[in-house]
A and B are shown apart, each in its own frame.
Chain A
Amino acid sequence: MSSRRALRRRDAVVRILLLFGALVGFLLPLLWTALASFGLLPDNAARPPSLKGPITLDHFLEIGVAEPTFWQELITSTGAAACATVVAIVCSFLAAFGLARSRFAGKPLLTEGFLVLASLPAMAYVIPLSDLMRRAHLADTFIGVVLTEAAVMAPLAVYVLHGALRQLSAEWEEAAVLDGAGLFRVLSEVVLPLSAPSVAATAIVLFVLAWNLLLVPLVLTSGEIKTVPVAMMDFFTFERELDWPTAAAALVVSLVPVAILGGIFHRVLERFTLDVGHTA
Chain B
Amino acid sequence: MRLTRRDRLFLFAPLAVLLTGWLGLPALLGLFATFSTYSPFATSIHFAGLSNYLSVIEDRQFGAAVRNITIFTVVAVPLELAIGFGVAYLLRRPIRGRGLLRLLLLLPWLVSPIANGVMWHFLLVGAHSILDFAGGWLAQSSIVSPIGDARLALPTIIAVEIWREAPFVAFLLLPGLLAVPAELWEHATLDGASWIEQVFTVALPSLRPLLLAITMLLVGLSLGTFDSVLILTGGGPGSASVTPALYSYNQAFVINNWPAGAASAWLIALAVLGVGLFYINLAKRSVTR
Contact = CB atoms under 8 A, between A and B. Distances in A.
Interface in B173-225: 175-176, 179, 195, 209-210, 212-214, 216-217, 219-221, 223-224
Contacts of B93: 15
Of B22, B139, B220, B266, most buried by chain A (CB within 10 Å of CB) is B22
Given A48-B137, A95-B12, A121-B224, A236 B118 contact: yes
Given A29-B120, A229-B112, A124 B210 contact: no
Contact of B280 (A116, A150, A228): A116
B219 A112 contact: no
A267 B100 CA distance: 10
A88 B23 CA distance: 13
B106 A262 contact: yes
A147 interface: yes
A268 B170 CA distance: 16
Interface in B54-109: 86-87, 90-91, 93, 95, 99, 101-109
B15 A92 contact: yes
A247 B129 CA distance: 13
A22 B123 contact: no
B104 A23 contact: yes
Main secondary structure of the interface of A (DSSP, over half): helix
Given A42-B128, A94-B10, A211-B112, A127 B265 contact: yes
B287 interface: yes
Nearest to A150: B18
A258 B249 CA distance: 28
B262 A128 contact: yes
A45 to B, nearest CB: 8
Contacts of B161: none
B18 A91 contact: yes
27 contacts: A22-B105, A23-B105, A25-B163, A26-B105, A26-B167, A28-B130, A33-B123, A42-B129, A94-B11, A94-B14, A98-B3, A116-B276, A118-B217, A121-B220, A121-B223, A123-B244, A123-B249, A124-B266, A125-B23, A125-B26, A127-B258, A128-B29, A129-B26, A151-B22, A208-B109, A263-B103, A272-B171
Interface of B: 1, 3, 7-8, 10-12, 14-16, 18-19, 21-23, 25-27, 29-30, 33, 40, 86-87, 90-91, 93, 95, 99, 101-115, 118-123, 126-130, 132-133, 135-137, 139, 163, 166-167, 171-172, 175-176, 179, 195, 209-210, 212-214, 216-217, 219-221, 223-224, 226-227, 230-231, 244-245, 248-249, 252-253, 258, 261-262, 265-266, 268-269, 272-273, 275-276, 279-280, 283-284, 286-287
Given A94-B11, A278-B287, A279-B209, 10 more contacts: A28-B130, A48-B137, A95-B15, A98-B3, A120-B276, A128-B27, A229-B227, A233-B231, A247-B122, A276-B283
